[in-house]
Amino acid sequence: MAASEKRERSGGRGWSRRGVLAGVVGVPVLLIAACGGHPGATSAAPGGQGAAAEAAVSAPASPKASVAKIAVSPADGATAVPFSDPVKVTVADGTLSSVRLTDTAGREIPGQPTADGTGWASTGKLASGTKYKLAVSATDANGLTADSNTSFATATPANTFVGYFSPEDGSTVGVGMPVSINFNKPVTDRKAVEQAITVTSSSGVEVVGHWYSGTRLDFRPAEYWPSGSQVTLKLRLKDVQGAKGVYGTQSKDVTFNVGRSQTSVADLAKNTLTVTTDGRVTATYPIIGGAPDHRTWGGKLVISEQYQETRMNSNTVGLGSEYDIPDVPHAQRLTNSGTFIHGNYWSPASQFGSANTSHGCISLQDVKGGADGNTNAAAFFKSSMVGDVVEVVNSGDRPVDPANGLSDWNLGWADWKAGSAL
């Protein structure tokens, strides 16, 4: 007997390559079973079936792959994707069974499938500078599933705009304080921007926006805010296109409170300032108004700034070098063009209540430095707040331009609403 034949029959350590191949072809499961014991050992199943029973067991078949083919846009790993474009999914040789688009915070972006189930497009807005994940499943005619998991990142706009608003968050203001928003770049799509801004009051009054220009949008109700109410401004300007290629960046809520109701009437024929607080006259002061060649604007003016002391220079309002007073006390701004109601220590006491000699401002008697808290100017300053209304009557001049300062109340309600883009 040849040496090789002896090794094959002995079942020892020296299995030939020929013997192994014959085992794989002839009895595939027998080789697998032998791996659990010793080479050449005989394995018997219970009941004496032996290797013949094991040969009847077949190996599992490989799973079939789905023929459904999923395509997504944007592509996996894409960056600087336009955030104004929808995300799209299509499938060939199958139908979509699940589409889920989420941002890094896990917020799901809604979408709409096509009627035949072979397409899907996002309907919710994407945010700029954000990474997204897209998970898709589709099923073919045999019920087999195909999956796709991709991610992409949206671009950050190179050209942006912001809105600077007043009043400040958490502030308490007078009943005449409008919400005023000034944009740092001109807005051409006023409708889109106004739709992205809402102003509501706890009192339930209707609040409407009015565009003075492409850079200024104010909001107010038909009448002054109800005292004690709370007003909320919601800016949802992020990724809103205000002009071609120019996008907003803000998503912010601002809340302010309306204080007691205080309005004052400056009658420049009587030279008096009558103050009404919560429906009751609380003070009457003698005043000086604008001289005939520098009359005070008429109409409803709103206090926008308060200064314990400030410098007033005629050069800043186009009046040359007529005056330069470095320490005007108790000054409260009424217009952007330079109208104030303020303390006056330089005019004779006899002029208060009897003459109009100013360059357009309204003044109350005061002392230099404003340290005396008992003067008329100090008392009025102490009782006032930003947002209080000072209505000027009998000045001899036309009503103030509504866009000059916070003089919004000089427009009737119909004219105000006509300035809305909505």
- Tell me if residue 359 is catalytic: no
Among residues 210, 330, 342, 359, which one is catalytic? 342
pTM of the model: 0.77
Instruction: Look up residue 410 and give its two tokens.
Output: 């000089």
Q: Return the percentage of the chain with pLDDT > 70, whole number.
A: 85
Helical ranges in 181-279 per DSSP H:
190-195
* Cβ pair 154, 118 in contact under 8 A: no
**Rounded to an integer, what distance in angstroms lies between the CA atom of residue 234 and that of residue 229?**
17
Closest CA to 362 of 280, 276, 225, 267: 267
Q: Is the Cα dihedral 401, 405, 411, 414 positive or negative? A: positive
- Tell me if residue 342 is catalytic: yes
Tens of pLDDT, residue by residue over 216-228, are 999 999 999 999 9
Closest CA to 81 of 134, 120, 126: 126
Tens of pLDDT, residue by residue over 389-420, are 999 999 999 999 999 999 999 999 999 999 99
Closest CA to 226 of 258, 254, 253, 248: 258
* Cβ pair 164, 253 in contact under 8 A: no
pLDDT of amino acid 61: 56
Which segments within 238-339 are labelled E, that is strand? Answer: 241-243, 246-248, 251-258, 262-267, 272-277, 280-286, 299-302, 305-313, 324-333
**Rounded to an integer, what distance in angstroms lies between the CA atom of residue 401 and that of residue 157?**
36
**Rounded to an integer, what distance in angstroms lies between the CA atom of residue 219 and that of residue 209?**
4
Low-confidence residues in the chain, pLDDT < 70: 1-62, 321
Instruction: Look up residue 55 and give its two tokens.
Output: 């040969």
User: Which residues share a beta bridge with 341?
Assistant: 332, 362
Among residues 210, 330, 359, 361, which one is catalytic? 361
* Cβ pair 392, 341 in contact under 8 A: no
State the burial class of residue 206 (Cβ atoms within 10 Å of its Cβ: 0-12, 13-18, 19+): exposed
**Rounded to an integer, what distance in angstroms lies between the CA atom of residue 131 and that of residue 370?**
58
Which contacts of 205-213 are long-range, i.e. CB under 8 A and separated by 24 or more positions?
A: 205/229, 207/179, 207/231, 208/416, 208/417, 208/420, 209/419, 209/420, 209/421, 209/422, 210/408, 210/411, 210/416, 210/417, 210/419, 210/420, 211/419, 211/420, 211/421, 212/402, 212/403, 212/419, 213/186, 213/403
* Cβ pair 214, 187 in contact under 8 A: yes
Closest CA to 317 of 332, 302, 339, 297: 339
pLDDT of amino acid 60: 58
pLDDT of amino acid 36: 38
Domains along the chain? 69-153 (2.60.40.3780), 160-259 (2.60.40.3710), 262-410 (2.40.440.10)
